[in-house]
Structure formats: C-alpha cells, structure tokens
Amino acid sequence: MDLLFKVFLKCLLKGLYFNGITSMRVVIIKYNAGNIQSVLYALERIGIQAIVTDDHELICSADKVIFPGVGEASTAMRYLEERNLDTLIRDLKQPVLGICLGMQLMCRSSEENDTECLGIFGTEVKKFAPSAVQVAGGLKVPQIGWNTIYDLRTDLFKGINDQSYCYFVHGYYAALGEHTIATTDYVHPYSSGLHKANFYGVQFHPEKSAAVGERILTNFCQGIDG
C-alpha cells in the first residue's frame, strides 16, 4: 500500500507541476525529527503548497527543499544514513533550508552524543557550557523563547531589520565562522544563520516567528535563485 501510494503521489505531483498548476515545487524532507507539520502549515499561510516526503526522486526534482528538525542529533543522523538521505542532501543542487536541528545536522559535527554530521558547513555544533551559563547570569539551557538576530546577510534576510525577534528552542549552537549570515547572543554570540553555496540554515524556527518568520520563508521560496 505504501508503494502504491508513492507511485500515485509521484504521478499526481508530476501532473500538477508539468501542467503549470503548481508554479513552485517545495519539498519538506520527511524524517524522524519533529516540527514538520508546523513548517507545512507556515508555508500554507504564505500561499505555498509543499509536500512532505522522503522519496529521493521527488526531493531531487523539487525547486526548493526544506530540512526541518527538532530532536537529538545522533538519532536523526542514523535515520538519514539508513535511508541514504544523508548522501542525497549533500548532493542537492537547488536551494536547501535547514531549520533548527536541520541546520545543526548540516554542520561538520555536534557535541550532542559526539555525532558526525553532514559536513556541508565547516562548523562545529557545541553545547552551551554550564560554566558559561553561570557567568552569563544563570540563563537557562535550553534557550526557549524569543531572541534577536543581527548582522544579517544574504537575500534570505531581505527586508528583515537587525535586532528582529525570532523564536528559539535549543541547547546546542553553531559557532561563529566563515559561513555565518546571522548572529544571536545567548550566553555568548553564535550563528543563528549559516550559508554556503545553495545551502542555508537557521537556528530559530521561522514557522513560529510570526511576520519575521513568514518573510524569511517567503524570501527562501520566492527570492533565492536556484
């Protein structure tokens, strides 16, 4: 039944796409990591009908790919590897947006259970250190809630003002580096946005970040060239 459904879905989508009914083919990668439905609903609010799939052919044929995630790094990487999604993601040529755990998995490695990640960004994901938390005044880890983004670069943040608020939920962070396109302060400055070639990532949740998040998703889907 699952195979028949996939065949039906492929035929349906190809019919819609190639007959011009759907102008933008956006795929959300389906895997065992959380916030997929909220991303789907956020896209619907800005007029984009995305599909959620782990089918390699559908992912590769999409105009834009979104790689969301909430969860634990090593479990998510193992799931991707078992389905060869890790290799697929690395080889994608169209614009790809990683969200939260999705962005972290696009980095070189994570201190969360000493996990080797996809290695798209040459950045290490580190745990907020308890000693640093204490020095910063006892901030709670994980960070949960609204915080600002600044030093914004690339068209992903077109129309977004420095110090705009976005919604965060995370206990690990990507260090600042050559691929940083947005910065946030919590305990210390870290990368809340990354970019390399056709790959983009944000640590916050645009699907939960009100008008700012909607603008960022719109920029990715409509303003980032493939």
Is the peptide bond between 142 and the residue preceding it cis, with omega within 30 degrees of 0?
yes
Number of DSSP helices (H) and strands (E) in the chain, helices first: 8, 13
- What is the token pair recorded at 178? 């050559």
Instruction: Tell me the three state secondary structure of residue 106.
Output: coil
List the catalytic residue out of 170, 179, 195, 205.
205
- Sign of the C-alpha dihedral, residues 84, 216, 73, 191? positive
Residue 100 is among the residues annotated as catalytic for this protein: yes
- The stretches of 19-100 forming alpha helices (DSSP H) are 36-45, 56-61, 73-82, 85-91
Which among 100, 107, 117, 166 is annotated as catalytic? 100
Task: Give the active site residue among 107, 117, 207, 221.
Answer: 207
Strand partners, 52: 28
Q: How many CB atoms lie within 10 A of CB 5?
A: 9
- Return the active site residues: 100, 205, 207
